[in-house]
Amino acid sequence: MQEPVLEINYLSKSFAKNKVLDNVAVTVHKGRVLGLMGENGAGKSTLVKCLFGIYAKDEGQMFLNGKPIDFKNPKEALENGVAMVHQELNQCLDRSITDNLFLGRYPLRFGVIDEARMLMEANQLFASLNMNINPRTIMRTMSVSHRQMVEIAKAVSYDAKIIVLDEPTSSLTEREVKKLFSIIDDLRKKGVSFIYISHKMDEVFEICDDVEVLRDGKMVLSKPVAETTMDEIVSALVGRSLDKRYPDVDNNPGEEYFHIRNLTTKFDPVLQDISFSVRKGEIFGLYGLVGAGRSELLEALFGIRTIASGEIVLGNKKLRFKNAKEAMAYDFALITEERKLNGMFGKDTIKFNTVITNLESYKTMNVLSNRKMLDAANRQIVQMRTKCVSAEELISSLSGGNQQKVIIGKWLERQPEIFLMDEPTRGIDVGAKYEIYQLIIRMAKEGKTIIVVSSEMPEILGITNRIAVMSNRRLAGIVNTNETNQEELIRLSAKYL
């Protein structure tokens, strides 16, 4: 085995009385990929933030190529060859790809930014990674998956010796995942090392050389991937064996209740002539490649994307929402794909984020009651099993999975009849995913109608009654979940390409 590139020994970190990391040890070897796994709140984010100088460690030592390190900020980490691609992308969306690549390190010529050199180096970078990307493209016009690939290229551009990838495939298609793995493989052959943070065990077994599992701030498993099993990792993650990845989908859908007829949207990307019906108490899946129009369809149903023609009928009533507020008045709820961008108020508390969609319910004599709001937040913390210090904690201090639990909880407070879910388990650990699956099934059994988007084929097959497959912003077909398979979903998703 190659020599260690990064060694972390006896690392501990506490916030007030909450010990988040407890004597954690991590070793990353040259040219190898270390899979770092753990449930939401296990300490993964805190660990890498200590490495990058975002947090100051309480105890422990870190060595890079045998030399002690204690970075004071991420800039210092980058300058020493340690880069990170965050799950929640922080990019200047109104600037070009080139600007984002060189932000904070613009090359100068005669005291002026050398844009020709930037463009040349950007093209060379993408060519070396076999990425077909135009560096002049404005970031906002790109899909989440393409923006994520740009961020990975940016990490490579720093000539990093260690790259931390945090849930890098959460927004990628299967084809893009294969492309990413090809890039990782090429780079590790050149001696680059990776810390690969993921909840997807199939990927860990495919791309990682070693795996370490954190649970409640302690390292409970550290092995070469070839010497462990999926069952052993699941047991290490949740502290018990998990017999099944998906609970029994035992809801009994009723009559057809929610109808979409010949729906076409007005602005790019345009959805074309979408028609289907969903039954009361049904879990209806939407599958397709990134860019197929799944998210745009949910936005149109929720009133935040303009409909050019077609009908939406709930029961016997025709609907045409002008905005999300009108949709909410008819008991619609929407979980968005990008929680940080448009799913939560990052600078406010768990309590605020829980009650914001339902303020009228927490008033006494027409004045907001802090007690009622606190009761609501605590109720959802318990129901969703959110790991936090209190309801007054900032939501930005939570792990991504626990943020998602707060977002789901805020909609549960409204008791929606139509629940639109766009990648509801994105970035969530295996134990928490199972809890959300159980919640979805329980809501369906209560008569709620669920439309769920997922890019994970096993998930869409594991928790739905029927699946609509979209391709190139059109409906390619609808299948019964218990009568279909992955091959048919792939064939339908390529129908109009």
Extents of the domains making up the chain? 4-238, 256-493
Selected residue with higher pLDDT from 93 and 17: 93
> Which pLDDT score, from 0 to 100, does residue 497 have?
66
Backbone φ and ψ of 469, nearest 5°: -105, 130
pLDDT averaged over the chain? 89
> Which pLDDT score, from 0 to 100, does residue 244 have?
74
Backbone φ and ψ of 39, nearest 5°: -65, 165
Q: How many CA atoms within 13 Å lie on the side-chain side of 345? A: 13
Mean pLDDT of 159-186: 84
> Which pLDDT score, from 0 to 100, does residue 186 have?
87
> Which pLDDT score, from 0 to 100, does residue 407 have?
93
Q: According to the 3-state scheme, what is the secondary structure of the chain?
A: CCCEEEEEEEEEEEECCEEEEEEEEEEEECCCEEEEEECCCCCHHHHHHHHCCCCCCCEEEEEECCEEECCCCHHHHHHCCEEEECCCCCCCCCCEHHHHHHCCCCCEECCEECHHHHHHHHHHHHHHCCCCCCCCCEHHHCCHHHHHHHHHHHHHHCCCCEEEEECCCCCCCHHHHHHHHHHHHHHHHCCCEEEEECCCHHHHHHHCCEEEEEECCEEEEEEEHHHCCHHHHHHHHHCCCCCCCCCCCCCCCCCEEEEEEEEEECCCCCCCCEEEEEECCCEEEEECCCCCCHHHHHHHHCCCCCEEEEEEEECCEEECCCCHHHHHHCCEEEECCCHHHHCCCCCCEHHHHHHCCCHHHHEECCEECHHHHHHHHHHHHHHHCCCCCCCCCEHHHCCHHHHHHHHHHHHHCCCCCEEEEECCCCCCCHHHHHHHHHHHHHHHHCCCEEEEECCCHHHHHHCCCEEEEEECCEEEEEEEHHHCCHHHHHHHHCCCC
- Confidence grade of residue 9 (pLDDT, cut at 50, 70, 90): very high
Q: Are 5 and 30 in contact (CB under 8 A)?
A: yes
CA distance 156 to 150: 10
- Confidence grade of residue 97 (pLDDT, cut at 50, 70, 90): very high
What percent of the chain has a predicted confidence (pLDDT) above 90?
58
What percent of the chain has a predicted confidence (pLDDT) above 70?
98
Using alpha carbons only, what angle is made at residue 192 by residues 191 and 195, rounded to the nearest 5 degrees?
A: 135
Token code pair at residue 129: 């990674």
pLDDT digits (tens, 9 = 90+) for 265-281: 988 889 999 999 999 99
Average the pLDDT over each of 79-83, 299-303, 395-399, 403-407 and give the range with the smallest value: 395-399
Mean pLDDT of 283-300: 91
- Confidence grade of residue 29 (pLDDT, cut at 50, 70, 90): very high
- Does the structure show a pLDDT above 70 at 5? yes
> Which pLDDT score, from 0 to 100, does residue 243 have?
62
Question: Measured between alpha carbons, how far apart are the two ends of the chain, in Å?
Answer: 45
**CATH class, range 256-493:** alpha beta
- Does the structure show a pLDDT above 90 at 343? no
> Which pLDDT score, from 0 to 100, does residue 240 have?
61
Selected residue with higher pLDDT from 146 and 465: 465
Mean pLDDT of 122-129: 90
Instruction: Give the architecture-level CATH label for domain 4-238.
Output: 3-Layer(aba) Sandwich (3.40)
pLDDT digits (tens, 9 = 90+) for 68-86: 999 999 889 988 999 988 8
Mean pLDDT of 145-152: 82
Q: Which of 238, 194, 244 is nearest to 213 (CA)?
A: 238
- Does the structure show a pLDDT above 80 at 62? yes
Token code pair at residue 6: 């990064």
- 476 burial via Cβ count (<10 Å: 0-12, 13-18, 19+): buried
CA distance 328 to 321: 10
- Does the structure show a pLDDT above 80 at 143? no
Q: Report which DSSP code applies to 396.
A: G
Token code pair at residue 10: 């006896």
Backbone φ and ψ of 442, nearest 5°: -65, -40
- Confidence grade of residue 242 (pLDDT, cut at 50, 70, 90): low
Average the pLDDT over each of 237-251, 295-309, 351-365 and give the range with the smallest value: 237-251
Highest mean pLDDT among 70-79, 104-113, 131-140, 445-454: 445-454
Same-fold call for 4-238 versus 256-493: yes
- Does the structure show a pLDDT above 80 at 113? yes
pLDDT digits (tens, 9 = 90+) for 429-447: 777 788 889 999 999 999 9
Q: Are 489 and 287 in contact (CB under 8 A)?
A: yes
- Confidence grade of residue 1 (pLDDT, cut at 50, 70, 90): low
Average the pLDDT over each of 256-260, 289-293, 482-486 and give the range with the smallest value: 289-293
Cα dist. 373→362, 363, 364, 410 in Å?
6, 9, 11, 11
> pTM of whole model > 0.85?
no
- Confidence grade of residue 131 (pLDDT, cut at 50, 70, 90): confident
Backbone φ and ψ of 19, nearest 5°: -85, 110
Q: Are 425 and 402 in contact (CB under 8 A)?
A: no
- Does the structure show a pLDDT above 70 at 117? yes
> Which pLDDT score, from 0 to 100, does residue 487 have?
87
Selected residue with higher pLDDT from 237 and 37: 37
